[in-house]
């Protein structure tokens, strides 16, 4: 069965601090996809990144970086030099390639960046 | 591409009334998903379609909920009769079978309030 765990319910940081959001997943499938979405106060779900299970390279996009480690079934997300606009709920999600192709979400982490 | 289009954005209705939510997926996407987001249960999958065929409706709360996808460019989620506990944000999402570069694309959601 698929499961995504985001143990951090809420995090508060002061602007310009770095922050890491944790994500641990469970799946029996050998091929799967991992995602991060951002949900700002306006409510929409904004795609941030998609990762294939066979590509463990870490990725950096501006102030955002992702650390994918299959050995620990983790896909953590780091924001460097946080800004107030980063305040949002962040969701980690999993989709299995060989099973149903729906998307399983974690419970989300609410990040508040204090100016 | 205009993205996934949902209507209405907001819906306020009285208990017992029928509610119909609409979704237009991205052209070329062959999978469509309906999610519901509440504070208590987070983001939960209600139903999804592949090539217009319902694949898994196990997330549909009860018989009051029904979903259709008469063609590749349109889907509806109907609640009849509506109840206050149905109040939530309902998201529609679409994807291609290989998830594509951006994975799943979500609409802006419909905020439903049943009074």
Label residue A43 left, alpha or beta by phi (over 0 means left) and psi (-120 to 50 means alpha).
left
pLDDT at site B2: 77
pLDDT at site A9: 96
The answer to whether the CB of B10 falls within 8 A of the CB of B111 is yes
Per-residue pLDDT of chain A (115 residues; tens, 9 = 90+): 789 999 999 999 999 999 999 999 999 988 899 999 999 999 999 999 989 898 888 888 899 999 999 999 999 999 999 999 999 999 999 988 776 678 899 999 999 999 9
**Residue A38 burial (C-beta neighbours within 10 Å; 0-12, 13-18, 19+):** middle
DSSP assigned state of A30? S
Residues in chain B, pLDDT under 70: 1, 97-102
How many degrees, rounded to 5, is the angle at CA B72 between CA B68 and CA B76? 25
Q: Could you tell me which chain A residue has the CA closest to the CA of B5? A: A44
Q: What is the dihedral of CA B64, B41, A92, A48, to 10 degrees?
A: 60
The alpha-carbon gap from B16 to the nearest alpha carbon of chain A, in Å, equals 27
Closest by Cβ to A102, choosing from B33, B105, B108: B33
């Amino acid at each position: 069965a698929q499961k995504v765990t985001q143990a951090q319910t809420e995090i508060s940081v002061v602007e310009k601090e770095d922050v890491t959001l944790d994500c641990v997943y469970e799946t029996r499938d050998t091929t799967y996809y991992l995602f991060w979405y951002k949900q700002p106060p306006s409510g929409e779900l904004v795609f941030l990144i998609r990762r294939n299970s066979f590509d463990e390279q870490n990725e950096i996009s501006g102030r955002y970086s992702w650390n994918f480690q299959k050995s620990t079934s983790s896909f953590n997300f780091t924001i460097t030099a946080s800004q107030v606009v980063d305040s949002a709920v962040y969701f980690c999600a999993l989709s299995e390639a060989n099973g149903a192709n729906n998307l399983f979400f974690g419970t989300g982490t609410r990040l508040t960046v204090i100016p | 591409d205009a993205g996934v289009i949902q209507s209405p954005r907001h819906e306020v209705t009285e208990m017992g009334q029928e509610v119909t939510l609409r979704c237009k997926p991205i052209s070329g996407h062959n999978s469509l998903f309906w999610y519901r987001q509440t504070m208590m249960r987070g983001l939960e999958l209600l139903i999804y379609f592949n090539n217009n065929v319902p694949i898994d409706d196990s997330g549909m709360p009860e018989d009051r909920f029904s979903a259709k996808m008469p063609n590749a460019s349109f889907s509806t989620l109907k609640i009849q009769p509506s109840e206050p506990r149905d109040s939530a944000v309902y998201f529609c999402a679409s994807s291609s079978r290989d998830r594509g570069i951006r994975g799943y694309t979500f609409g802006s959601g419909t905020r439903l309030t049943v009074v």
